[in-house]
Amino acid sequence: MIKIGIYGYGNLGRGVEAAIKLSKDFELVAVFTRRNPLDLKIATKTAKVISADDVLKYKDEIDVMILCGGSATDLPTQTPYLAQYFNCIDSFDTHANAYEHFKAVDAAALNAKKLSIVSVGWDPGMFSLNRAIMQSILPSGNDYTFWGKGVSQGHSDAIRRIDGVIDARQYTIPIDEALKSVRNGENPNLTTRQKHRRECYVVVKEGADKARIEKEIKEMPNYFSDYDTTVNFISQEELNKNHSGIPHGGFVIRSGKTSDGVNHVIEYNLKLDSNPEFTGSILLAYARAAYKMKSRNESGARTVFDVSAADLSNLSYEDLLKHTL
């Protein structure tokens, strides 16, 4: 049994917890929270709820810690810190800062002889893995990534951290014309803005400065500034009623030639009823890989680019060759 800790119990933490129930080789030991542990009810009766302040007391009881905080402010400090004491998995998803984050975690984990895998999820994560493989197979071509329509946890989270905001939901929506052109193999040149738009539903505190909040959202670097973004201020009731689901999806397509007039299209796509449950399921599979890699005395930071399918799988190598190959 691989002993798992969940650090942060929001949607993603609950997604990891749901995934643990579906696999026989994991045991949830504890959920760590910055809230008062007495106030937190979790779904797993056999697991403890522990204050984040006491996390180091569990460093010998947990094989892999799955960090479920946000990329905007939590993970940049939490992962490098916890990587000194635990094998960690995180879903750091700010593409522009991913390399710096990797380097910070790598230094901490190498020094501690622990192994952490960062930026795990579906994008970055599965989509990145597919992009890298597609590019390796078809070097002469173009790839395109589209997201949605779906709720982005990272972007919703980023809005919620703005002063005056109570709650928010952000939908990423692919732009139809762009999608059609790519699937037709037209290899269009598309700007970020031509591919997707962003739609935000925001609940603010009474008397909050809506104009300032809307401006902060629309100008937020990496998250919103490169997109056409619409901001709708609504009540908490309306948000709960009409925007409580967290579906998502998207696809990666690469179109490339191997000789004159000989074209190939590779596509990977996802249709997800729940983004955090699917992401949690990915994090858990990578926790299995981290456990195996650490058992071989590997240390430092890794990403999806380093992890083999054999390490993700709970099947024996013989079974993989006999039944999955």
Q: Give residues in contact with its own copies (CB under 8 A).
A: 15, 18-19, 22-23, 95, 98-99, 102, 119, 124, 126, 128-133, 135-140, 258-259, 261-274, 277-278, 280-282, 285, 288, 303-310, 312-315, 317-318, 320-322, 324-325
Residue 131 or 243 with smaller CB distance to its own copies? 131
Q: Which two tokens stand for residue 245?
A: 């689901």
Cβ closer to its own copies: 208 or 265?
265
- Whole-number minimum distance, CB 53 to its own copies, in Å? 30
Sequence-ordered list of residues with C-beta below 8 angstroms from that of 173, at least 6 positions apart, any chain: 148, 149, 196, 197, 198, 199
CA 134 to each of CA 23, 41, 129, 155, 255: distance values in angstroms, whole numbers, following the listed order: 30, 43, 9, 27, 9
* Smallest gap from residue 117 Cβ to its own copies (A): 12
Measured from the CB atom, is 199 or 277 closer to its own copies? Answer: 277
Smallest distance, its own copies to C-beta of residue 21, A = 8
Smallest gap from Cβ 261 to its own copies, in A, equals 8
Q: Which residue, 119 or 229, has its beta carbon nearer to its own copies?
A: 119
Measured from the CB atom, the residue of 175 and 270 that comes closer to its own copies is 270
CB 293 → its own copies: shortest distance, Å? 11
| Shortest Å distance, C-beta 165 to its own copies | 27
Minimum distance from CB of 208 to its own copies (Å)? 34
